[in-house]
Structure 1
Amino acid sequence: MPHFEDFYANKLRGSLGVTDAESVLDLREANRATAEASIGDMLERSRFAKGKTVAVRLAAPPEGGGETLFQPVGRLLLDAKRRGWIERLQTLPAGDGLGFYVALAGKPARERD
């Protein structure tokens, strides 16, 4: 079987959704400050525990358009990915609504022992 780079292997695997995640962080009713604090708490706690997967659910735009939490939450998650706290970050499939599938890296094994 051929070896694929992670980028291409992830494309073959397809999108992971809410049912694939170990837990769900539902921010559909949250305001921006609460959502940012919740994401910050999730990321901080994940740095000291075993890695896990989380589906972050966000509210759809209001009727007629408007702001969502997608961009501010996405920026926080992307920054965490750059820092190495997130192993995999992708949007949820359309059937699951607006949000992200996040695989948290957790604490490195040598530090956990």
Structure 2
Amino acid sequence: MPHFEPFYADKLRGSLGVVDAEAVLDLRSASREQALRSIQDMLERSRFAQSKAVAIRLSPPPEGGGETLFQPVGKALLEAKKRGWIERLQTLPAQDGLGFYVVLAGKPDA
């Protein structure tokens, strides 16, 4: 089995992250309502623009445990994927923290 540098090994595993994205949506300090509005705004705007890769960063759970935005944001993104607005949806690699790597479908060809 050949040995790869970590960068190339991650690429082969498909762990695209913040450095691979064209834009970053940082929701680490957002409330649940703000985060969902930002996601919806990003999705609506993407329908009229070129396809784009976006890293969505979320806050880790608070000390001692608790809720994060991972589930509500994930549900919104999954619904958008079902509608065809998202081409690729995956979690960020561990070194990037909690969040998602999304490739927005963009404006459909006429």
Common fold: TM-score over 0.5: yes
Give the corresponding residue for 1:44.
44
Give the corresponding residue for 1:15.
15
Give the corresponding residue for 2:65.
65
The amino acid that maps onto 2:71 is Q
SS of the equivalent of 1:109 reads coil
The amino acid that maps onto 1:109 is D
- Write the distance in 2 (CA, Å) between the matches of 1:14 and 1:77: 19
Give the corresponding residue for 1:28.
28
SS of the equivalent of 2:44 reads helix
The amino acid that maps onto 1:84 is G
Give the corresponding residue for 2:94.
94
- Write the distance in 1 (CA, Å) between the matches of 2:97 and 2:71: 15
User: Which runs of structure 1 show a deviation greater than 2 angstroms over 4 or more consecutive aligned residues?
Assistant: none
| Distance apart, 1:52 and its partner CA | 0.3
| Distance apart, 1:49 and its partner CA | 0.7
Give me the CA root mean square deviation: 1.1
The amino acid that maps onto 1:93 is P
Aligned length: 100
- Write the distance in 2 (CA, Å) between the matches of 1:71 and 1:22: 24
Structure 1 segments unaligned to the other structure (5+ residues)? 1-10
| Distance apart, 1:94 and its partner CA | 0.2
SS of the equivalent of 1:95 reads helix
The amino acid that maps onto 2:16 is L
| Distance apart, 1:12 and its partner CA | 4.2
